[in-house]
Amino acid sequence: MAATMKGPGIFLAQFAGDQAPFNSLDSITAWAGGLGYKGVQIPTWDGRLFDLARAAESKDYCDEVAGICAQNGVEITELSTHLQGQLVAVNPAYDAQFDGFAPAHVHGNPKARQEWAVDQMMKAAKASAHLGLKASVSFTGSLAFPYLYPWPQRPQGLIEEAFAELGRRWTPILNAYEEAGVDLGYEIHPGEDVFDGTTFEMFLDAVGGHKRCTINYDPSHFLLQQLDYLAFIDIYHERISAFHVKDAEFNPTGRQGVYSGYQNWTNRAGRFRSLGDGQVDFVGIFSKLAQYGYDRWAVLEWECCLKHPEDGAAEGAPFIANHIIRLTERAFDDFAGGGSDMALLKRLMGI
Q: Where are the beta strands (DSSP E) in the chain?
A: 6-11, 39-43, 75-81, 135-138, 183-187, 213-217, 240-245, 247-250, 270-273, 297-300
Q: Do residues 298 and 324 lie in contact, with contact meaning Cβ atoms separated by under 8 Å?
A: yes
Instruction: Tell me the HSE value of 21 on the side-chain side, using a 13 A CA sphere.
Output: 13
* SS3 at position 230: helix
User: 3-state DSSP call for residue 10?
Assistant: strand
Long-range CB contacts (within 8 A, 24+) of 232-236: 232/197, 233/285, 233/288, 233/289, 233/292, 234/288, 235/197, 236/197, 236/200
Helix (DSSP H) and strand (DSSP E) numbers for the chain: 13, 10
Q: Determine the pLDDT at residue 339.
A: 72
pLDDT attached to residue 2: 64
Structure confidence by residue, pLDDT tens digits, 221-274: 999 999 999 999 999 999 999 999 999 999 999 999 999 999 999 999 999 999
Residues 69, 75, 78, 79, Cα dihedral to 10°: 10
Query: pTM (2 decimals)?
Result: 0.95
Q: Give the span between the Cα atoms of 49 and 193, in whole angstroms.
A: 29
DSSP 254: S
Give the C-alpha separation, 222 to 232, whole Å: 9
| CA separation for the pair 125, 134 (Å, rounded) | 10
SS3 (DSSP) at 41: strand
- pLDDT attached to residue 163: 98
Residue 202 CB neighbours (<10 A): 18
Give the burial string for 269-286 (b: 16+ CB within 10 Å, else e). Answer: bbbbbbbebbebebeebb
Does 209 score more than 80 pLDDT?
yes
User: Residues 323, 283: contact at Cβ < 8 Å?
Assistant: yes
pLDDT at 293: 96
Q: What is the pLDDT of residue 3?
A: 85
Neighbouring residues of 340: CB distance < 8 A, sequence distance ≥ 6: none
pLDDT for 263 equals 97
Give me the pLDDT at residue 330, please.
74
pLDDT at 1 over 60: no
**Radius of gyration for the chain, computed over Cα atoms and rounded to the nearest angstrom:** 22
Cα-Cα end-to-end distance for the chain: 34
pLDDT tens-digit map of 129-154 = 999 999 999 999 999 999 999 999 99
Q: What structural domains and CATH numbers belong to the chain? A: 6-349 (3.20.20.150)
Which pLDDT tens digit goes with each residue over 53-91? 999 999 999 999 999 999 999 999 999 999 999 999 999
Average pLDDT, the chain: 96
pLDDT digits (tens, 9 = 90+) for 177-208: 999 999 999 999 999 999 999 999 999 999 99
